[in-house]
């Protein structure tokens, strides 16, 4: 099975939290059928990105996006020769300073279609990853506003379209063993 076929299968298994995610799943599956590399931002202004809901015993990490000014999870573009699962971990480290790991098995948890910069459209693949409950330490070139939030506070503070995914995360955390 190819990496794209495996990704397609993961997307198809997601139970959408709302109509927005349902529509995002359909659009993302259609994007996977399009020409070229669906992750390459230089090939199309419609490309897949990866992000992570970083969790620990302290809650979930959000950061104030330095360009958009909204509270969101860490994430970004998938580099050449990198899969979205690796990109979610890399972006987390780059934006928060936290070394994290995926759940076992890896959990593609949520998909969201939203506008990106420069007229691009992002098809965001959102994973759940676990980090130690340490204070975030973002590098100087990233947003300094990175914090752990309990899930209720995260839902109140986040960009509004993210709140349903965080509510789903709150329900799902009860079934995962997150001791970090």
pLDDT in tens, 52-93: 999 999 999 999 998 889 999 999 999 999 999 999 999 999
Query: How many independent structural domains does the chain possess?
Result: 1
Q: Which domain holds residue 31?
A: 3-173
Assigned domain for 82 exists: yes
| Domain-located, residue 180 | no
Q: Residue 177: its pLDDT value, please?
A: 66
What whole-number distance in Å separates Cα of residue 128 and Cα of residue 14?
Answer: 13
Q: Is residue 168 part of a domain?
A: yes
Q: Tell me whether residue 26 is in a domain.
A: yes
In residues, how long is the chain?
180
CATH number, domain containing residue 145: 3.90.79.10
| Structure-derived torsion over alpha carbons of residues 43, 114, 16, 20, reported in degrees to the nearest 10 | -130
Cis status of the peptide bond prior to 58, with omega within 30 of 0: no
Q: How far apart are CA 29 and CA 15, in angstroms?
A: 14
**In this model, does residue 48 exceed pLDDT 70?**
yes
Determine contact, residues 25/111, Cβ cutoff 8 Å: yes
Cα separations in angstroms, 47 against 29, 129, 141, 151, 170: 12, 22, 24, 29, 28
In this predicted model, which residue has the larger pLDDT, 35 or 8?
Answer: 8
In a domain, 179, yes or no: no
CB 61 within 8 A of CB 131: yes
Q: For 82-129, what is each residue's pLDDT tens digit?
A: 999 999 999 999 999 999 999 988 989 999 999 887 888 999 999 999
Res 176 pLDDT > 80: no
Q: Is residue 68 one of the residues assigned to a domain?
A: yes
**Would 20 be classed as within a structural domain?**
yes
Predicted local distance difference test score (pLDDT) of residue 47: 93
Q: What ranges in the chain are assigned the alpha helix state H? A: 3-12, 19-33, 84-96, 151-157, 163-173
How far is residue 119's CA from residue 41's CA, in Å, rounded to a whole number? Answer: 11
Q: Find all residues with CB under 8 Å of 123, minimum gap 6, and list them.
A: 24, 27, 28, 31, 38, 46, 47, 48, 49, 111, 112, 113
Q: Is residue 130 part of a domain?
A: yes
């Amino acid at each position: 099975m190819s990496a794209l076929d495996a990704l397609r299968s993961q997307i198809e298994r997601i139970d959408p939290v709302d109509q927005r995610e349902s529509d995002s799943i359909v659009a993302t599956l259609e994007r996977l059928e399009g020409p070229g590399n669906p992750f390459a931002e230089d090939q199309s202004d419609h490309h897949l990105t990866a992000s992570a809901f970083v969790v620990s015993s302290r809650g979930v990490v959000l950061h104030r996006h330095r360009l958009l000014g909204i509270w969101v999870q860490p994430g970004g573009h998938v580099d050449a020769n990198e899969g979205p699962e690796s990109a979610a971990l890399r972006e987390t480290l780059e934006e928060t300073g936290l070394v994290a790991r995926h759940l076992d098995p890896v959990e593609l948890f949520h998909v969201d279609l939203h506008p990106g910069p420069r007229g691009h459209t992002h098809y965001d693949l959102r994973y759940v990853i676990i980090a130690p409950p340490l204070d975030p330490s973002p590098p100087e070139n990233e947003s300094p506003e990175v914090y752990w939030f309990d899930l209720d506070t995260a839902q109140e503070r986040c960009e509004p379209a993210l709140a349903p995914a965080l509510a789903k995360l709150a329900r799902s955390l009860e079934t995962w063993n997150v001791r970090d």
